Amino acid sequence: MRLLNKINIKLQRMQREAGNSFVSRTTLRRSGRPDMVVLRVVLMNQRTTPDILNEILDEQEAIYRDCIAPTLRLK
């Protein structure tokens, strides 16, 4: 879980810094379970379409694939 949390924090930061979209993050605190960092999108513009949301997800995939995954040391 800690690795996924680190990935989500780094991904959200890199996506925000790129300036193409805004995805926030929050930490879910659950009794008796590890904290989990999750990404979230708040839709404020009624003109947001499924295609736009897919572009945001595509951007996240590209950031992970190109910038984060190559740096991971998986056991």
Of 60, 63, 58, nearest to 39 by C-alpha is 60
List C-alpha distances in Å: 20 to 9, 16, 35, 47, 52.
17, 7, 28, 16, 11
Of 24, 20, 53, 16, nearest to 40 by C-alpha is 24
> What pLDDT was estimated at residue 73?
79
The model's pTM is 0.85
63 SS3 class = helix
pLDDT tens, 19-60? 998 899 999 999 999 999 999 987 888 898 999 999 999 999
> What pLDDT was estimated at residue 25?
95
Residue the block writes with tokens 């890199």:
14
